[in-house]
């Protein structure tokens, strides 16, 4: 079965055929965070989507190279560094570490490479040099370098490949210096920004004088360095389609580094917006959440991840605290079944149920249709529970069901459904001490330890496969 995805370039669902002639490897890039603050839950929707795509490609047997950049220099960072008076590296380093920690909390597989823009100034300068050589970039009176939309289009290239743009409303040669701008102002954008007093100590030497790169050129330089001038897959949030991704295409293809007939990127995938409590996230509305905020409210990374994975990536999704409570209930249903299956399977092992894996693959191949996948999974949970309740299940049945879940969970990454990992060390030690007491036939001590565990909020159940802890 082949995987089909919605390609923003063609605005249609297409079969994903890797550039690699052996069709076994996929090179993918996802625009990463701007490390000027803690990333919010809307940002993480995109990163969890990228993680799902990577995991599913690996599930399908592709060898994936996954690159995600760290934007550690752009307008917002300059503003923050100026305001706090801190050193650029110290400031961005703190938010980069926080971002990676949050990525781990959400159980996202770390990208193979996480290039920082500030470590690639030489590559950025080289790329700008190529655009200047080809006459597509030019120097403005203040010493900055701009990308010329007019020259690019005159070379026969299309600006506006992901989005249809109305050039009749555009004034030729108009320039925009800020990294973020609106569609109405399709204009020449900055590749290199000449040093200004506002930049403080943040600047680098270049053939065109001191300054710093524009945001868009960073992604072109880093993605092409690590994945080559043409690669398979580029992901990002839909808010990046314009201008960021349009500009990435223009810079990368404008430099003329691709082989004849090849594009910069073959497939573009964009994740939809996230609403929180029915509205666009805003600090003033009280619906602006970082991962840390949600952990502080008592939710787990696993619950957040489940909720983010419950809706199709191209649908705008309403993220609510009620939804997180629902995620908790849904995960508890899965955990309960997995717990029962583990007890029954004991040491038995088996292979996944073909039918279950095939049904799952069938819907996921359809542009990652997670809604249908969850429908199949919960139908499966009901069916397994029914068979268990009838007392007809065997150890082999349980082992095969567990293998099926393990196969599917390699894609969803919701851990193994076991609570063991979440048991604090102190509790695990008490349980261990109780086992030792029982073995020594010191039942009084064993009962005392059981009571102590209960006081700390944990129930011990003795099962044929050993003691089980349950949170009260």
- For the chain, helix, strand, coil in percent to 5 are 50, 15, 35
| 77 vs 309 by CB, closer to Zn ion | 77
Dihedral sign, Cα of residue 257, residue 114, residue 287, residue 370: positive
How far is 449 from 430, CA to CA, in rounded Å?
7
Between 28 and 31, name the residue whose CB sits nearer to Zn ion: 31
Q: How far is CA 49 from CA 239, 306, 321, 327, 394, in A?
A: 15, 12, 20, 17, 37
Site string for Zn ion, 8-37 (x = CB under 5 A): -----------------------x------
Count of other CB atoms within 10 angstroms of residue 125: 20
The nearest distance, CB 219 to Zn ion, in angstroms, is: 3
Q: What is the spatial distance between Cα 138 and Cα 147, in angstroms, rounded to a whole number? A: 7
Q: In whole angstroms, how close is the CB of 50 to Zn ion at the nearest point?
A: 12
Nearer to Zn ion, 32 or 417 (CB): 32
What's the closest the beta carbon of residue 31 comes to Zn ion, in angstroms? 3
Least separation in angstroms between residue 115's CB and Zn ion is 11
What is the total residue count of the chain?
472
Please state the closest distance from residue 247 (CB atom) to Zn ion, in A. 9
Q: Enumerate residues 212-231 that contact Zn ion by CB under 5 A.
A: 219
Size of the site for Zn ion (CB under 5 A): 2
Question: Residue 93: what are its φ and ψ, rounded to 5°?
Answer: -60, -40
Binding mask 30-69 for Zn ion (x = CB under 5 A): -x--------------------------------------
Question: Which residue, 219 or 341, has its beta carbon nearer to Zn ion?
Answer: 219
- Nearer to Zn ion by Cβ, of 219 and 255: the residue is 219
Q: How far is the CB of 240 from Zn ion (least distance, A)?
A: 6
Report 308-347 residues binding Zn ion (CB under 5 A): none
266 or 450: CB nearest Zn ion: 266
Q: Which of 301, 231, 306 is nearest to 269 (CA)?
A: 231
φ/ψ region of 160 (left if φ > 0, alpha if ψ in -120 to 50, else beta) reads left
- CA 141, distance to chain mean position in Å, is 40
Q: If binding is defined by CB under 5 A, does position 137 make contact with Zn ion? A: no
Supply 323's token pair: 């939804």
Closer CB to Zn ion, residue 237 or residue 301?
A: 237
* Euclidean distance between CA atoms 327 and 283, whole angstroms: 24
Name residues contacting Zn ion, limited to 161-220 (CB under 5 A). Answer: 219
Report the distance separating Cα 355 and Cα 334, nearest Å. 19
Backbone φ/ψ region at 101: left (φ over 0), alpha (ψ -120 to 50), beta: alpha
Q: Which is nearer to Zn ion, 228 or 362 (CB)?
A: 228
Nearest distance, CB of residue 127 and Zn ion, angstroms: 14
Q: How near is the Cβ of 327 to Zn ion at its closest, in Å?
A: 30
CA 455 – CA 296 distance, rounded (Å): 24
Contacts to Zn ion from residues 412-471, by CB under 5 A: none
Instruction: Catalog residues that contact Zn ion under the rule CB under 5 A.
Output: 31, 219
């Amino acid at each position: 079965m082949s995987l089909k995805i919605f390609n923003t370039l063609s605005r249609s669902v297409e079969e994903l055929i890797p550039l690699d002639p052996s069709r076994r490897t996929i090179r993918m890039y996802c625009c990463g965070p701007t490390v000027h603050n803690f990333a919010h839950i809307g940002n993480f929707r995109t990163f969890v989507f990228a993680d799902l795509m990577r995991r599913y490609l690996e599930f399908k047997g592709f060898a994936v190279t996954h690159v995600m950049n760290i934007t550690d220099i752009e307008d917002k960072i300059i503003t923050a560094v100026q305001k706090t008076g801190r050193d650029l590296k110290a400031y961005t380093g703190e938010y980069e570490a926080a971002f990676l920690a949050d990525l781990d909390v959400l159980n996202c597989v770390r990208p193979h490479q996480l290039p920082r823009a500030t470590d690639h100034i030489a590559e950025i300068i080289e790329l700008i040099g190529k655009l200047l050589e080809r006459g597509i970039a030019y120097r403005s009176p203040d010493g900055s370098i701009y990308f010329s939309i007019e020259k690019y289009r005159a070379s026969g290239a299309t600006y506006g490949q992901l989005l249809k743009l109305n050039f009749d409303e555009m004034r030729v040669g108009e320039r925009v210096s800020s990294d973020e701008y609106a569609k109405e102002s399709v204009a020449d954008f900055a590749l290199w920004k000449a040093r200004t007093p506002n930049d403080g100590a943040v600047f680098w030497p270049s053939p065109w004088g001191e300054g710093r790169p524009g945001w868009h050129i960073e992604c072109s330089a880093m993605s092409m360095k690590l994945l080559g001038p043409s690669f398979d897959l580029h992901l990002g949030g839909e808010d990046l389609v314009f201008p960021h991704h349009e500009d990435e295409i223009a810079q990368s293809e404008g430099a003329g580094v691709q082989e004849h007939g090849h594009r910069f990127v073959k497939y573009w995938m964009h994740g939809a917006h996230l609403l929180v409590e029915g509205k666009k996230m805003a600090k003033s509305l009280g619906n602006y959440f970082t991962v840390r905020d949600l952990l502080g409210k008592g939710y787990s990374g696993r619950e957040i991840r489940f909720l983010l994975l419950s809706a199709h990536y191209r649908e705008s999704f309403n993220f609510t605290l009620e939804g997180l409570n629902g995620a908790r209930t849904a995960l508890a249903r899965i955990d309960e079944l997995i717990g029962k299956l583990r007890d029954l399977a004991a040491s038995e092992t088996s292979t996944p149920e073909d039918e279950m894996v095939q049904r799952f693959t069938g819907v996921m191949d359809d542009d990652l249709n997670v809604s249908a996948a969850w429908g199949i999974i919960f139908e499966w949970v009901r069916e397994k529970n029914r068979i268990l309740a009838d007392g007809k299940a065997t150890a082999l049945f349980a082992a095969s069901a567990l293998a099926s879940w393990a196969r599917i969970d390699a894609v969803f990454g919701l851990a193994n459904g076991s609570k063991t990992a979440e048991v604090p060390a102190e509790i695990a030690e008490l349980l261990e001490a109780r086992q030792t007491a029982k073995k020594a036939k010191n039942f009084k001590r064993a009962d005392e330890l059981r009571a102590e565990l209960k006081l700390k909020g944990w129930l011990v159940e003795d099962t044929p496969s050993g003691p089980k802890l349950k949170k009260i």
